[in-house]
């Protein structure tokens, strides 16, 4: 049965082999099967995105773009769906039982929810850094940084692997601090170092997009500023989307800010306003944005 863009789709566990294509997947992609997202795809476009957990609709009709080489911050009160939106960008939302996605998430011109797109491929292009630093506890610093490689790039020689690990750790501003203890457990690092190790792990597989879900909420102010400096540097190479509860962090670290809000508890989150961060924090268009960024309402 042909599938339309507005029809609800269950994405978890669906048989990929029998999938049909969505109408807006580009023509070039329609002729091929297998790998579909172009290498170097960087720009996200969300079109009428609705996300569900079973019967509960978490977000409603989100349409926005996430531009390359910029940091886009998602802000909003707890439960407004920021993290859900973020997790939908690398198809992690569907890992929740009963999760559903409606609408489109285009990475450049390819809908990442097309049924013949391999979620693993999406996740390689779109890396994620989580709220609490989560290095693999039994692995060394080196093994942590190389963890994604063994999954995505099998057959690398030791020297190739060494080179990628060093480049990733340097990219995450961690190399100088850990180069003499690469064989020590990653869990022995400080919180800020662990989070940078997770960023190194994410960039080792050479993604195009980095998603960060409150990456500094478990860190002290100095480690937080170090991560923010790193984000500023990484945006030269990656598309970055960050969820943060820290208003000042959004103001400091992002170029574009999107404000999501709930009309009331139990209702789905909606995109209230998106714009240049400077505008959102000096003269937002919507009163709800003004109240939220001013801290007048929680």
Partner 1 sequence: MVDKIRVQYAEELAQLEERALGGLDLVIASLDRALETVQHRDVELAELVIADDDRIDGRYLEVHQAILTLLATQAPVATDLRLISALLHVMKCMERMGDQCVNIAKLVPITGHDAPQEADMLDRIAKMGKQVRSQISQSKKAFAARDVELARDLVRQDDVVDALNKECFQIAVEVGDDHDIREWAMTMMLVARALERTGDNAVDIGEQVAFVVTGLFREFEDASHPVVP
Nearer to partner 1, 8 or 276 (CB): 276
Specify whether the CB–CB gap between 99 and 52 falls below 8 A.
Answer: yes
Give least dist CB 263 to partner 1, A.
9
Name the one range near partner 1 by CB under 8 A: 41-49, 181-189, 205-213, 290-298: 290-298
Rounded-to-5 percentages of helix, strand, coil across the chain: 35, 25, 40
Contact status: 295 vs partner 1 (CB under 8 A): yes
Contact status: 284 vs partner 1 (CB under 8 A): yes
Specify whether the CB–CB gap between 242 and 71 falls below 8 A.
Answer: yes
Nearer to partner 1, 119 or 275 (CB): 275
Give the HSE-up count for residue 46: Cα atoms under 13 Å, Cβ half-sphere. 26
Give least dist CB 247 to partner 1, A.
7
Contact status: 294 vs partner 1 (CB under 8 A): yes
| ∠ Cα 85 202 138 (to 5°) | 115
Name the one range near partner 1 by CB under 8 A: 2-10, 117-125, 226-234, 276-284: 276-284
Contact status: 282 vs partner 1 (CB under 8 A): yes
- For partner 1, the binding residue among 30, 184, 233, 297 (CB under 8 A) is 297
d(CA 47, CA 65): 9
Give least dist CB 268 to partner 1, A.
15
Cα 62 to chain center, whole Å? Answer: 16
- Encoded one letter per residue, x for contact with partner 1 by CB under 8 A and - for no contact, window 236-275 reads -----------xx--x----------x-x-----------
Size of the site for partner 1 (CB under 8 A): 17
Strands (E), the chain: 9-10, 44-53, 56-66, 71-75, 99-107, 110-111, 126-129, 209-213, 239-243, 256-262, 269-276
Both structure tokens of 172: 């995450």
Give least dist CB 77 to partner 1, A.
8
Tell me how far CA of residue 204 lies from CA of 8, 156, 236, 286, 295, in angstroms: 35, 13, 16, 40, 38
Name the one range near partner 1 by CB under 8 A: 59-67, 188-196, 231-239, 278-286: 278-286
d(CA 79, CA 77): 6
- Binding residues vs partner 1 (CB under 8 A): 247-248, 251, 262, 264, 281-284, 289-290, 293-298
């Amino acid at each position: 049965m042909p599938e339309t863009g507005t029809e609800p789709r269950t994405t978890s566990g669906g048989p990929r082999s029998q999938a049909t294509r969505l109408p807006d997947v580009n023509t070039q992609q329609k002729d091929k099967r297998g790998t579909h997202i172009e290498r170097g795809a960087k720009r996200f476009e969300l079109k009428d995105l609705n996300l569900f957990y079973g019967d509960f609709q978490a977000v409603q009709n989100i349409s926005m773009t996430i531009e390359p080489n910029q940091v886009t911050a998602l802000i909003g009160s707890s439960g407004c769906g920021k993290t859900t939106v973020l997790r939908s960008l690398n198809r992690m939302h569907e890992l929740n039982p009963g999760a559903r996605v409606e609408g489109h998430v285009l990475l450049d011109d390819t809908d990442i929810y097309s049924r013949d797109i391999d979620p693993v491929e999406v996740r390689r292009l779109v890396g994620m850094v989580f709220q609490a630093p989560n290095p693999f506890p039994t692995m060394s610093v080196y093994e942590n940084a190389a963890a994604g490689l063994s999954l995505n790039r099998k057959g690398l020689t030791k020297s190739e692997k060494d080179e990628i690990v060093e480049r990733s750790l340097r990219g995450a501003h961690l190399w100088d601090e850990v180069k003499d203890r690469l064989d020590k457990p990653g869990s022995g690092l400080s919180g800020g170092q662990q989070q940078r190790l997770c960023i190194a792990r994410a960039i080792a597989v050479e993604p195009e997009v980095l998603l960060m879900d409150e990456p500094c909420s478990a860190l002290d102010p100095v480690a937080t500023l170090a991560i923010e400096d790193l984000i500023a540097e990484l945006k030269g190479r990656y598309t970055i989307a960050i969820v943060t509860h820290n208003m000042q962090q959004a103001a400091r670290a992002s170029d574009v800010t999107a404000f999501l809000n709930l009309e009331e508890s139990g209702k789905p989150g909606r995109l209230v306003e998106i714009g240049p961060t400077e505008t959102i924090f000096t003269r937002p268009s919507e009163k709800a944005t003004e109240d939220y960024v001013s801290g007048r309402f929680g």
